[in-house]
A and B are shown apart, each in its own frame.
Chain A
Amino acid sequence: MHEYSIVSALLERVSAEARAHNATSVYRLTLRIGDGAGVEPDLLSKAYEHFRAGTICARAELCIEPVAERWVCPVCGRTLARGAVLSCEGCGMPARLMSGDEIILERIEMEVP
């Protein structure tokens, strides 16, 4: 349940940003979470619901944009099939993870008086 510690990092980061902008409240948060990041979006949302009470995010919607996991051959550029052995069928090179491990706070929309 590391989702709880991720939410606490999120609330800390957002509070600091809101203070810096003299915001009165936060309207919406947007995260980008990779399919292969090791973070469960559902658990993250639940943890957020639990912890946002009493914070500047009390009324803020949490949007989670999923990012697909994608492994690519660094030499010939071909994309590997899901669940395949992670070396290129063509040239045998170890594949490289191009996307899907993101745990990113993308955007904060805040209300500024």
Chain B
Amino acid sequence: MCQDCGCGDPEIVPVVVHERLLSGNDRVARHNREHFAAHDVLAINLMGSPGSGKTAILEATARALASRHRLGAVSGDLATDRDAQRLRAAGIPAATITTGSACHLDAEMVHRALHDFALDSLDIFVIENVGNLVCPAIYDLGQTLNVVALSVTEGEDKPLKYPVMFRNAQAVLLTKIDLLPHLGGVSLQMFNDALARVMPEPRTFPVSALTGEGMDRWLEWLEASRPRV
């Protein structure tokens, strides 16, 4: 009640919150991260546009690492189970998180999906996010590393147009480099220049899932990023 004049109006009380709006998501993400760490699992949040080659790189990665490491994956997909089917065909346990109309995965969706996996029997767990260069960028999922797949056919200006996605990434896979000769003047250098303006420490892996070019450097980095047991 207003104490000044006795008018009976309610009092306006200011409450300083000063908290991240996504603190609820951050809490669940922390829980996921502890879960991955407790099982010595390297968790990758793989993001990128629809059609950037996320699933193709994952298939190639799974095949190349099959003899050395145990991989698992979840795929965020608006409506289908196709990506997870492809990954299972490539020999890795995979499930789909069907998001309906949601444009990104959040930590709670990943947390629910983790109950379907025996993390003890995995070394690397990949969360293939919904194809989108905007929305997934701001949601922590509890991953160890963020990786963005950017196909050379998308154009070298994409990092400048979608800076948040790239700024928060530890590595960028420049995919489909076998198509570079057909792109009339587009070069890897142009991608590197753009990335240097949105990432303070850009790390890129030019790769082709089709020819296998560049995959060795990517796999080496992935293996070196595994937790030391």
Sample 24 A-B pairs with CB under 8 A, ordered by A number.
A2-B103, A2-B104, A6-B21, A9-B21, A9-B22, A13-B23, A13-B24, A21-B15, A31-B21, A38-B138, A83-B160, A83-B197, A86-B200, A104-B19, A104-B20, A105-B21, A108-B14, A109-B12, A109-B14, A109-B15, A110-B13, A111-B10, A112-B12, A112-B13
In the complex, whether B196 has a CB less than 8 A from a CB of chain A is: yes
Q: Tell me how far the C-beta of A102 lies from the nearest C-beta in chain B, rounded to whole angstroms.
A: 8
Q: Determine the chain A residues whose CB is within 8 A of the CB of B23 once the complex forms.
A: 13
Q: Determine the chain B residues whose CB is within 8 A of the CB of A25 once the complex forms.
A: 10
Q: Whose C-beta in chain A lies nearest to the C-beta of B164?
A: A38
Q: Mark B126-142, 1 if CB is under 8 A from A, else 0.
A: 00000000110111000
Chief secondary structure at chain B's binding surface: mixed
Beta-carbon contacts under 8 Å, A86-107 to B: 86-87, 94-97, 101, 103-107
Q: How many residues of B contact A (CB 8 A)?
A: 38
Q: State which of B18, B20, B103, B201 has its C-beta within 8 Å of the C-beta of A94.
A: B201
In the complex, whether A79 has a CB less than 8 A from a CB of chain B is: no
Q: Determine the chain B residues whose CB is within 8 A of the CB of A94 once the complex forms.
A: 200-201
Q: Whose C-beta in chain A lies nearest to the C-beta of B134?
A: A38
Contact B18 A104 (CB under 8 A): yes
How many angstroms from the CA of A87 to the CA of B106 in the assembled complex?
31
Q: Determine the chain B residues whose CB is within 8 A of the CB of A23 once the complex forms.
A: 13
Contact B106 A108 (CB under 8 A): no
Q: Determine the chain A residues whose CB is within 8 A of the CB of B7 once the complex forms.
A: none
In the complex, whether B1 has a CB less than 8 A from a CB of chain A is: yes
Beta-carbon contacts under 8 Å, A1-26 to B: 1-2, 5-6, 9-10, 12-13, 17, 21, 23-25
Q: Determine the chain B residues whose CB is within 8 A of the CB of A96 once the complex forms.
A: 200
User: Besides A83-B160, A109-B13, 10 other CB < 8 A contacts?
Assistant: A2-B103, A2-B104, A12-B24, A21-B15, A27-B12, A36-B164, A94-B201, A103-B22, A106-B17, A113-B11
